[in-house]
Amino acid sequence: MEQRISIVTLGVNDLEQSAAFFERLGWRRSGNEPGIAFFQCGLGALALYPRDKLAEDVGISPQVSNFGGFTLAYNARSKDDVDAVLSQAKAAGAVVVKPARDVFWGGYSGYFQDIDGHFWEVAWNPFIALDEAGALKLPEG
């Protein structure tokens, strides 16, 4: 696993209201995908996603006591890399809470929970490029 965090996803109560808040701060929304908002943040990104849908994506109830309403994402370079990183995380002591599989948005992802309970998505996204150093580049929007 390369040393990077690609995306921090915040589970929000009202997507458009939350996106508008960041836009009022001067942040520029990237892309125009329905149901999610992305903001380029240096070499990574901030994503806003409805909290209940984020919990569903992880594969847990939003009422689970250790679900803080956010996830960290590691973008992989291929589907095989997703599987390898999940295996590596498990070998290091993580719990794979959602094995990798093809997902509705066209990518491939799974989730693990680290030893302190934080949820990490490991994803291959054919629509978001990584440079040689692993920096994420969102499409212009």
Q: What is the pLDDT of residues 3-21, one digit of tens each?
A: 888 999 998 888 998 899 8
In a domain, 133, yes or no: yes
* Highest mean predicted confidence (pLDDT) among 30-34, 88-92, 101-105: 101-105
The pTM assigned to this predicted structure is 0.73
Mean pLDDT calculated for residue range 84-100: 93
pLDDT of residue 27: 86
Instruction: Supply 55's token pair.
Output: 């919990």
pLDDT of residue 62: 79
In a domain, 2, yes or no: no
pLDDT of residue 8: 93
In a domain, 35, yes or no: yes
Per-residue pLDDT tens over the stretch 40-76 = 987 889 999 998 999 999 998 877 767 788 899 999 9
Measure the CA–CA gap between 112 and 98, rounded to whole angstroms.
7
Measure the CA–CA gap between 91 and 31, rounded to whole angstroms.
36
Number of domains in the chain: 1
Per-residue pLDDT tens over the stretch 97-138 = 999 999 999 999 999 988 767 899 999 999 988 888 888 888
Amino acid at 45: A
In a domain, 1, yes or no: no
Confidence of residue 141 (pLDDT cuts 50, 70, 90): low
pLDDT of residue 76: 94
- Read off the CATH number of the domain in which 53 is found: 3.10.180.10
pLDDT of residue 138: 84
Domain limits for position 94: 7-137
pLDDT of residue 116: 63
Instruction: Supply 28's token pair.
Output: 């520029």
